[in-house]
């Protein structure tokens, strides 16, 4: 999965002209969101990575220190703080 993700990022970088560093950062952020939230992965039984993490967290909460979120960016809220 990592190699496929990196290959897709490489394709974006070689086929897109970016006007600025901010444009590049925004494009990469959008793609990471799309990949994690919207593109089902065959290796994950045709579920998205976030949906798979959420399901895993429900069945194995002791393995997680933070709540799985549907938005990009760092998650600084610990699970214990969420309840």
pLDDT confidence of residue 71? 61
Q: Are 27 and 18 in contact (CB under 8 A)?
A: yes
pLDDT confidence of residue 79? 47
For the chain, the domains span 2-82
HSE-up (13 A, CA, CB side) for residue 14: 6
CA distance 48 to 57: 14
pLDDT confidence of residue 67? 84
HSE-up (13 A, CA, CB side) for residue 31: 16
Query: Token match 């086929």: residue?
Result: 15
- Token pair for residue 40? 């089902």
pLDDT confidence of residue 5? 85
Could you say which residues of the chain have pLDDT below 70? Answer: 71-83
Give residue-wise pLDDT tens across range 45-67: 999 999 999 999 999 999 998 88
pLDDT confidence of residue 83? 42
């Amino acid at each position: 999965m990592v190699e496929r993700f990196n290959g897709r990022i490489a394709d974006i970088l070689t086929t897109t002209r970016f006007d600025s560093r901010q444009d590049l950062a925004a494009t990469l952020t959008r793609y990471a969101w799309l990949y994690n939230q919207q593109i089902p992965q065959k290796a994950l039984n045709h579920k998205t990575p976030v949906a798979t993490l959420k399901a895993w967290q429900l069945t194995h909460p002791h393995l997680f220190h933070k709540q799985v979120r549907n938005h990009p960016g760092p998650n600084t809220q610990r699970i214990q703080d969420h309840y």
